[in-house]
Structures are given as structure tokens and as C-alpha cells.
């Protein structure tokens, strides 16, 4: 029986992952911030939309709030780094003893803070170079092919969840040297982010400015 993915954070990457997991037929649940957001999501149809190569596909994905009682076996944390620690702490009572928590945040520091909140749970760090942006709530445009690196600094054994990523067409690699990858991503962001502000464009638009 497939393990349900709970996705915390319905931003660009969270929605992108949720859509691709749902496309592969895997059970997915969005965790939304409050009852108002949940009501708005359900009123809009209870679906996420992925736009890829200008073709839109919509997938039915159930949603809930943190107060739901369903146990969590696999949690993708895709919210902003500064929200991650408190958000995961709120969900800690729902985490199964054998749960995996995937931390998909940029930068350094937030991952360790989250892991310290749930020391009995395996935390997998993730870093992504995939491009995506929200066109509207729960509608994400896949803007650029990239890659996802995953690792666990305390346990080099690859987790079973990688099978789901393969089935979903999410490009990934398990790396025992994850911190080096994270430092590289941080350095890249330090170079790219000021340029996007300077040219008032998204990351992919830098090519038009010969950057």
C-alpha cells in the first residue's frame, strides 16, 4: 500500500511536487495554514494545476489543516525556511514513529532547527534547482528543468521514498555529501538573487540579459 505524502506549504515547489506525485497516482494531502485557506481551496475545486510546456493538467488533491488527526508517515516541508521550525513543531504529534520528513528549504540553519524539534524522526534534507512559480493559488507553472539533491547527514542509507520520486518523474539524486550541495546552492543564490532584482525578472529571465 502506497504511503501518503503530506505536503506542508502550497507555494511554487510544494504545489509542483504535489501535482507530480498526484499525477503518478500516489496519495497526496496538502496541509494548509488555516480553515479559511482550506475552505477557499475546497470551494475552488480541491485541485492543483500544473502548467508544463504551456499545457495545463489538473489533479484532485485532498487538503487539511494542521489540526487534522490523520497520522503522517511522509511529510514534505516546502514552506519558507523561517516558518519551517514552528510549522513542523505543530505537526509533531501527528508524526508516526517511522515517519520521514523531507526538508525542502534554501539556505542553511533551518534544517538543523527543525531536526532538533523532532529528534526521534528521520529528517531528509533536500535542495532543488528546479524552476517554478505560482500563476495563482494552487496553479503552478513549471518554468525550468533542474535537479533535486537529497541527503541525510546522520544516516547515509537511501530511504524508500526515493521510489516515489522516480515514479513521479521528479529528477533526484541521493548524496551522502549533502552539505556541500547545500553550500553550492547558497553560493548560487547569492549570485543570482541580486541579478533578478537588478533586472526585475525571474531566474530564467536572466538569459535574456546575457547574465
pLDDT digits (tens, 9 = 90+) for 11-60: 999 999 999 999 999 999 999 999 999 999 999 999 999 999 999 999 99
Confidence of residue 62 (pLDDT cuts 50, 70, 90): very high
- Asked if residue 170 belongs to a domain, the reply is yes
Average pLDDT, integer, range 75-99: 96
pLDDT at residue 161 above 60?
yes
Residue 185 annotated as catalytic: yes
71 neighbors 97 (Cβ within 8 angstroms): no
Where do we find the cell 496541509?
Answer: 31
- Asked if residue 39 belongs to a domain, the reply is yes
pLDDT at residue 173 above 60?
yes
Higher per-residue pLDDT: 176 or 7:
7
- Asked if residue 188 belongs to a domain, the reply is no
- Residue 196 is predicted with a pLDDT of 60
Here the CATH number for the domain that contains residue 89 is 3.40.50.720
pLDDT at residue 203 above 60?
no
Number of folded domains that form the chain: 1
- Residue 207 is predicted with a pLDDT of 57
Task: State which H helix or E strand residue 16 sits in.
Answer: helix 12-23
Where do we find the cell 521514498?
Answer: 161
pLDDT at residue 190 above 80?
no
Contacts of 92 (CB under 8 A, 6+ apart): 117, 118, 121
**pTM of the full predicted structure?**
0.86
- Asked if residue 87 belongs to a domain, the reply is yes
Query: Among 4-8, 102-106, 197-201, where is mean pLDDT lowest?
Result: 197-201
The residues with which 150 forms a beta bridge, in sequence order, are 126, 174
- Asked if residue 199 belongs to a domain, the reply is no
- Asked if residue 67 belongs to a domain, the reply is yes
Confidence of residue 153 (pLDDT cuts 50, 70, 90): confident
Confidence of residue 178 (pLDDT cuts 50, 70, 90): confident
Find the angle CA(188)-CA(164)-CA(27) to the nearest 5 degrees.
115
- Asked if residue 200 belongs to a domain, the reply is no
C-alpha pair distances (Å), 142 with each of 57, 130, 158? 12, 8, 27
- Residue 86 is predicted with a pLDDT of 95
- Residue 110 is predicted with a pLDDT of 84
Exposed e or buried b per residue across 173-185, where buried means at least 16 C-beta atoms within 10 angstroms of its C-beta: ebbeebeebbeeb
The percent helix, strand, coil of the chain (3-state, each to 5) is 35, 30, 30
Average pLDDT, integer, range 172-200: 70
Distance of CA 150 to the CA centre of its chain: 12
Average pLDDT, integer, range 143-156: 91
Instruction: Tell me which residue range forms the domain holding 22.
Output: 5-176
- Asked if residue 209 belongs to a domain, the reply is no
Catalytic residue selected from 131, 185, 195, 196: 185
The Cα–Cα gap between 74 and 71 comes to: 9
The residues with which 107 forms a beta bridge, in sequence order, are none
Average pLDDT, integer, range 123-135: 94
117 neighbors 110 (Cβ within 8 angstroms): no
State the helix-helix crossing angle for 81-91 and 110-117, rounded to 10 degrees.
10
Amino acid at each position: 500500500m502506497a504511503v501518503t505524502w503530506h505536503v506542508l506549504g502550497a507555494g511554487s515547489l510544494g504545489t509542483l511536487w504535489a501535482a507530480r506525485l498526484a499525477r503518478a497516482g500516489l496519495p497526496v494531502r496538502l496541509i494548509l495554514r488555516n480553515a479559511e485557506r482550506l475552505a477557499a481551496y475546497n470551494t475552488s475545486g480541491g485541485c492543483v494545476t500544473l502548467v508544463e510546456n504551456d499545457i495545463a493538467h489538473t489533479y484532485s488533491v485532498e487538503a487539511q489543516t494542521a489540526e487534522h488527526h490523520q497520522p503522517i508517515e511522509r511529510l514534505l516541508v516546502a514552506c519558507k525556511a523561517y516558518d519551517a521550525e514552528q510549522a513542523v513543531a505543530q505537526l509533531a504529534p501527528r508524526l508516526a514513529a517511522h515517519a520521514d520528513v523531507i526538508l525542502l528549504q534554501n539556505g542553511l540553519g533551518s534544517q538543523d532547527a527543525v531536526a532538533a524539534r523532532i529528534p526521534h524522526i528521520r529528517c531528509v534534507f533536500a535542495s532543488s534547482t528546479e524552476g517554478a512559480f505560482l500563476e495563482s493559488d494552487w496553479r503552478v507553472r513549471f518554468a525550468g528543468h533542474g535537479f533535486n539533491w537529497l541527503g541525510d547527514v546522520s544516516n547515509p542509507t537511501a530511504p524508500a521514498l526515493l521510489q516515489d520520486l522516480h515514479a513521479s518523474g521528479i529528477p533526484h539524486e541521493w548524496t551522502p555529501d549533502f552539505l556541500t550541495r547545500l553550500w553550492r546552492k547558497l553560493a548560487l543564490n547569492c549570485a543570482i538573487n541580486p541579478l533578478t532584482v537588478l533586472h526585475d525578472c525571474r531566474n530564467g529571465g536572466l538569459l535574456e540579459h546575457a547574465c
